[in-house]
Structure 1
Amino acid sequence: MTTETPAPVAKRVPTERVHHGDTVVDEYAWLADKDAPETIAHLTAENGYTEARTAHLADLRATLFEETRRRTQETDLSVPARKGGYWYYSRSVEGQQYGIQCRRPVRDGETEPPVSVDGAPLEGEEVLLDGNQLAEGHDFFSLGAYDVSPDGRWLAYSTDFAGDERYTLRVKDLSTGEVLADEVPDTSYGTAWSADASVLFYVTVDESWRPYRVWRHVIGTPASEDVIVHEEPDERFWVGVELTRSERFILIDIHSKITSEVLVIPAGNPTGAPAVVAPRRQGVEYSVEHHGHRFLILHNDGAEDFALAYTSADAPGDWVPMIDHAPGTRLESVDAFADHLVISLRSNGLTGLRVLTGGSTDWYDIDFPEPLYSVGLDANPEYHTGRIRFRYSSLVSPDSVYDFDLVTREMILRRRKPVRPGPDGREYDPAEYEQHRDWALADDGTRIPISLICRAGTPKDGSAPCLVYGYGSYEASIDPWFSIPRLSLLDRGVVFAVAHIRGGGELGRRWYEEGKLLAKKNTFTDFVACARHLVKAGWTAQDRLVARGASAGGLLMGAVANLAPDAFTGIVAQVPFVDALTSILDPSLPLTVTEWEEWGNPLADPEVYAYMKSYTPYENVAPVDYPAILAVTSLNDTRVLYHEPAKWVARLRAVAPQGDYLLKTEMGAGHGGPSGRYDAWKEEAFINAWILDRLGRS
């Protein structure tokens, strides 16, 4: 890369903070003032610099975008899911950015979902919401709530046009198409209808963006008359609300990182007082699902990887065991149907589905053929059904939707995501690619799984370029997934790897516990161990290896840049949590207090403060030779504020000026980046072009 455009230089304004006797000078704290003209000017200058430094990649970006577009069936329709007297589905149209939400009446004797020809609308279709119409005149659009009432008459939906995840809730009368005057600003995710559809429950956030209040709204009345059903005063906890699949109960879920409590309201008595299923106990997590005369309880009380129990739905009390704790098999959720239960679980690093029949504890697991895959339940709105629907994919298998007969165990493929021929006219052939599971050895002797995909026959002599992805926080697992844009990398000879590092949930709750709080550094050293292993095993070489991560995975990127700058030729950090200590020290910021059980509370605990300070990227920038770094952020992000990567890049330039650092800020988006699918493809093409340039495969 060459350019005559000079890198922006952020002015230094020394600002001191003192914690536990430690004085820290932050020269770039001024960048946190989002409304200051000089902040916007700096971000604009950074965008201009990035544009100039990557101008030579314009043709490659256009090529990558076109490859994604050509391989994607742009006019498409999801598999319709039955709910009551309708089939519900979404569809997309070539040239349009957003999805269209639809339904079609179930015809007499119709038991199988209707099939569209080439994504065309179904005959008799009713359009409920068109995201393209809603987004008109806005640079950003996100649909939050989308909840049809049990009788099919009302649609509760919410919209965000800034990316800050504060949604405006509205109600549409589907019988007339009229949007009611009922309008509630600043709502969060989650809604629930009463049994007679006269009452809608919803959630609002506090000043720190914490969902903390559940409200009751009577349809046809002003929002000013809405009633608070529950307010959560403990700032460690957030709340959510939902209607059970049986439509018998409204659940109010109250959760911190390590403790939970569930309140229930009979859906037939929406003005009734919420009842506690089980009082919160520090360190005990549980979730509730309704099934007949009982509440199913998935919990970790004396069960690290969770167990299943039940209690009376009429008078919740003692928990009666159903499935005992089995170390190494993490039970993640339970879904109840009239005659069956389905448990989503994780074992040996892979997801799975377990079926319990009738009221017994007899069970069987659904088998899948590939050595690496990801499976999870899809839309299953009907309580009285003998089938379930799930999604399946792998690194080589496109996303597929199956219906599964719970009695006969017949598996019916309803749809496999089409992969259209690329620009060269060749059809996608999974046999042209290989997926592998490898293992790295961490510093403490722990074996770390790595999932890989490459073109068939890729040599393991260190000559192949490689992109390694990681996350490693919040017990979130990065399971094998199929990606159309990734094909453009693979077809240029790039090996793609996922490092399943501690802090995630791939190998159960212990895997998570060993990568959080005062064990957080395991996340970073695990990733470096994976990078070193990829080189040692011949998958790649250090000068052909790029790392990528987002959000908490962006913290990972910043940490490994400091820990092992020689291990990579490039690092992509998207919406990166790189100034973690500063943020976690400020309880007024969004999400901070709820995060203390994940990272520790450096305000109260000197040990936590010292530990976090020893690894947070911004605090540990050093005068070393860093790999090239591309940081991508969004101005309206409320989860990881834009100024974290802005400050990080400024400090990198000041402390290690010989490096190559780029900052790209979306000026009208949030944590997820651009909202429209074409804009998202362009963003991915931008990042992948930069990666290929670093790998010498442009």
Structure 2
Amino acid sequence: MPEHTPAQPPIATKKPVTRSFHGRDFVDDYEWLRDKDSPETIDYLEAENAYTEAQTAHLKDLADNIYNEITSRVKQTDMSIPVRAGDWWYYGRTEEGKNYGYSCRLPVEEGSDPWTPPTIPEGGVPDGEQIILDLNELAEGHEFFSLGASTVTDSGRYLAYSIDTEGDERFDLFVKDLETGELLDDRLTGVFYGATWVDEDYIFYQRVDEAWRPDSVWRHKIGAPESEDVLVYREEDERFTVGAGGTRSRKYLMIESASKITTETWVLDTTNPEGEFTVLWPREHDVEYSVDHAEVAGQDRWIVTHNATGKNFAVGETGVEELPPLRELNPLLPHDEQVRVEGVDTYQGHIVAAYRRGAIGRLAIMRLGADGYGSFEELDFDEELYTVGAGGQPEWDAPVIRVSYVSFTQPTQLFDYRVATGERTLLKEQEVLGGYDRNDYTAYRLWTTAQDGTRIPVSVVHRADLDTSTPQPTLLYAYGSYESSTDPGFSIARLSLMDRGLIFAVAHVRGGGEMGRRWYDDGKILKKKNTFTDFIDVADDLVDRGLTSYDKIVAEGGSAGGMLVGAVANMAPEKFAGIQAIVPFVDSLTSMLMPELPLTVTEWDEWGNPYEDPEVYDYMASYSGYENVAAQNYPDILAVTSLNDTRVLYVEPAKWIAALRDKATGGQFLLKTEMSAGHGGVSGRYSKWRQTAFEYAWTVDKATGGAVTR
């Protein structure tokens, strides 16, 4: 690589190699950057970091101010609402000045209401607290730290937890005796996320293959060496990944093997942990289902969420011994073209259903009685845009549901919902220090009509006193893949953007899940370009409405959303003042042609299989962010990546930035590589806030044309 100074951009050496598939050749000048063990690669990434630091030095005051605003608004010494499991209340807490938190518990007091969480003293440590994990202590001496599994036996005696100190999402699992505080000799190395106890004797966990695909489930007997662990299930089909977990009733252990479009579930009675798993419904191409266990009128039943009768899924039920075909289950929630059923949670006395209607996620509850099933009753809320969820209640016989509620302007609230009476008790509201008033901000829904007539939902939030009669700086965000929905959520950091006059907008483009399964299907494989054109159409609509102008819009996307903004940069560069791409999937075709890479084969159901299909190859080649860089003016671009990312390799944005710098006729291109991090970026909350402040400072600078400096 030629010598340079931080004032001059690094120019990557061209080492052309030719990729040949289906009679098509592509000359790749920068594929050599894939070798992360090469000193030349590391030198180049460090040179890019130095250049980025020099080119953003003028943003230091702005970034520092945003960081200080974040830290001043966050209640840094805080704790979660305790959740009961067995004879203990479990919770987490944080302390000001410390990057990581504590996992703690308190015993359930005799004579107290077993379903009303204890009151925790403000900013204090409750009497009788037991710290079961000090994450600061575990992270000490490591540049990166992430907690994977953290699960306690029903008795409360043993804790299984796993940690990753590299950022590559390979975890080492430990077992701690919570009565003595000592670690057992049991240690499992290189395991995947998650761990499931069966009694105090067995842990079921997953491992990955060479392509980082979780392909197997193993059984570990406490006290036995790792070498004696038993393989209980292996998935040979490279399109499928596996996961394991227990039902809330503790009666069954489930293994789910799933591709992007097909699932299969295996079950084991937990009274026989060394027994053989048996399949419930054998896999059927393009049929997905998930299973939970319920007891209804004294009988064991399977509650099944499936798409065998329609794309938007339905919920059916059957006896655990009957197993009629999926299409013949007794319906509890029939298929509805306007309602995307997302799943159910079962308890001893009720079932909670989650579904999506009108681009908003909703909850409904069915009470179970001695005479069988009741009917689902939806929970009502007042706001137009909100997110509601149920969870955090592991106990089978719980008469209450823990419900979370949040919106763009409403900080997260946590309720206990008493099923028998419908009473809601507010347990906690996220505190925003410094006098936050939600009435100072407004959020609303717009609908953009795409070029093909499709109506695209758009969420908009900004200060209520912002003058929207003239164009204002705007951050336009989207994801648009994997049927993942970008739901309304509150962000303390985002206040720093809006208080500087920015509009925050979310384009709920096709490829996401906001409008149901068809919305997802219309933005994948050979319809993927709908994702990109929807985003551009939303930008045009915001300009046409007078909310913003092209020289004031910054586009942001991460991971698969980074693919989106990479494609948009080539398709409509004149419509954005800046593009921020976080761990961006911008060299997608190259990755999908390398089955040996992490995730590639499992991703073919999302993007198509260009390795075998020339039509898919040509289609992906037509939108790949890296391969379509052209001699044209681009907006300024900031790409952020991590050296140890196993999901979207650092080489993708590195090649992209190198190509932009070589071919573009205008635009500044910056690459920032975290040298000790993974797909989620840096670890530690203060480091994450610093990174967010840097990214937001860059966004403010581009959206305001440098008019805002502090």
2:171 aligned with 1:158, yes or no? no
The equivalent residue for 2:348 is 338
For 1:287, which of 270, 286, 290 is the aligned residue? 290
Structure 2 residue identity aligned to 1:356:
M
Q: 1:312-323 residue pairs with structure 2 within 5 A?
A: 312-314=319-321, 316-318=323-325, 319-323=329-333
Structure 2 residue identity aligned to 1:346:
R
Q: Deviations over 1:398-439 (max 9, x none)?
A: 011111111211111110110000xxxxx1000111111001
> Which SS does the other structure have where 2:317 is aligned?
strand
For 1:118, which of 103, 116, 122 is the aligned residue? 122
Distance in 1 between residues matched to 2:317 and 2:152, nearest whole Å: 29
For 1:393, which of 406, 409, 415 is the aligned residue? 406
Q: 1:489-568 residue pairs with structure 2 within 5 A?
A: 489-568=497-576
Note if contact 2:471-2:543 (Cα within 8 Å) is conserved in structure 1.
no
Structure 2 residue identity aligned to 1:99:
G
The equivalent residue for 1:441 is 449
For 2:496, which of 488, 494, 515 is the aligned residue? 488
Note if contact 1:91-1:119 (Cα within 8 Å) is conserved in structure 2.
no
For 2:375, which of 358, 362, 367 is the aligned residue? 362
> Which SS does the other structure have where 1:94 is aligned?
coil
Note if contact 1:466-1:494 (Cα within 8 Å) is conserved in structure 2.
yes
For 1:94, which of 84, 93, 96 is the aligned residue? 96
Structure 2 residue identity aligned to 1:414:
L
> Which SS does the other structure have where 2:195 is aligned?
strand
2:317 aligned with 1:310, yes or no? yes
| Cα distance change of structure 1 residues 42 and 4 upon mapping to structure 2, 3 Å threshold | closer
Cα drift, residue 463 of structure 1: 2.8
Unaligned runs of 5+ in 1: 422-426
Cα drift, residue 169 of structure 1: 1.0
> Which SS does the other structure have where 2:193 is aligned?
strand
Note if contact 1:193-1:267 (Cα within 8 Å) is conserved in structure 2.
no
Percent identity between the two aligned chains: 51
Distance in 1 between residues matched to 2:247 and 2:182, nearest whole Å: 27
Structure 1 residue identity aligned to 2:125:
P
The equivalent residue for 2:359 is 349
Note if contact 1:323-1:361 (Cα within 8 Å) is conserved in structure 2.
no
Deviates more, 1:628-637 or 1:102-111: 102-111
Distance in 2 between residues matched to 1:302 and 1:320, nearest whole Å: 12
Note if contact 2:6-2:47 (Cα within 8 Å) is conserved in structure 1.
no
For 1:245, which of 244, 248, 257 is the aligned residue? 248
Structure 2 residue identity aligned to 1:347:
R
Cα drift, residue 675 of structure 1: 1.1
2:142 aligned with 1:138, yes or no? yes
Cα drift, residue 190 of structure 1: 2.1
Q: 1:4-403 residue pairs with structure 2 within 5 A?
A: 5-111=7-113, 112-194=116-198, 196-292=199-295, 293-314=300-321, 316-318=323-325, 319-358=329-368, 359-403=372-416
RMSD: 1.0
Unaligned runs of 5+ in 2: none
Note if contact 2:582-2:640 (Cα within 8 Å) is conserved in structure 1.
yes
Deviates more, 1:368-377 or 1:115-124: 115-124
Note if contact 2:216-2:233 (Cα within 8 Å) is conserved in structure 1.
yes
Q: Deviations over 1:80-118 (max 9, x none)?
A: 011111000000010000111011001012221112233
> Which SS does the other structure have where 1:326 is aligned?
coil
TM-score (norm 2): 0.96
Distance in 1 between residues matched to 2:194 and 2:258, nearest whole Å: 14
Cα drift, residue 272 of structure 1: 0.7
Distance in 1 between residues matched to 2:322 and 2:182, nearest whole Å: 41
| Cα distance change of structure 1 residues 592 and 369 upon mapping to structure 2, 3 Å threshold | same
Note if contact 1:462-1:541 (Cα within 8 Å) is conserved in structure 2.
no
Structure 1 residue identity aligned to 2:291:
V
Note if contact 1:477-1:505 (Cα within 8 Å) is conserved in structure 2.
yes
| Cα distance change of structure 1 residues 332 and 623 upon mapping to structure 2, 3 Å threshold | same
> Which SS does the other structure have where 1:638 is aligned?
coil
Distance in 1 between residues matched to 2:448 and 2:124, nearest whole Å: 47
Distance in 2 between residues matched to 1:182 and 1:677, nearest whole Å: 30
Structure 1 residue identity aligned to 2:380:
D
Note if contact 1:253-1:260 (Cα within 8 Å) is conserved in structure 2.
yes
> Which SS does the other structure have where 2:122 is aligned?
coil
Cα drift, residue 20 of structure 1: 0.6
2:624 aligned with 1:620, yes or no? no
Note if contact 1:86-1:103 (Cα within 8 Å) is conserved in structure 2.
yes
Distance in 2 between residues matched to 1:90 and 1:316, nearest whole Å: 41
> Which SS does the other structure have where 2:606 is aligned?
helix
Note if contact 1:8-1:46 (Cα within 8 Å) is conserved in structure 2.
yes
Cα drift, residue 687 of structure 1: 0.2
> Which SS does the other structure have where 2:163 is aligned?
strand
Distance in 2 between residues matched to 1:243 and 1:329, nearest whole Å: 28
Cα drift, residue 657 of structure 1: 4.7
> Which SS does the other structure have where 1:59 is aligned?
helix
Distance in 1 between residues matched to 2:124 and 2:168, nearest whole Å: 34
Q: Deviations over 1:469-502 (max 9, x none)?
A: 1000000000011000000011111010010000
The equivalent residue for 1:571 is 579
The equivalent residue for 1:424 is none
Distance in 1 between residues matched to 2:35 and 2:342, nearest whole Å: 40
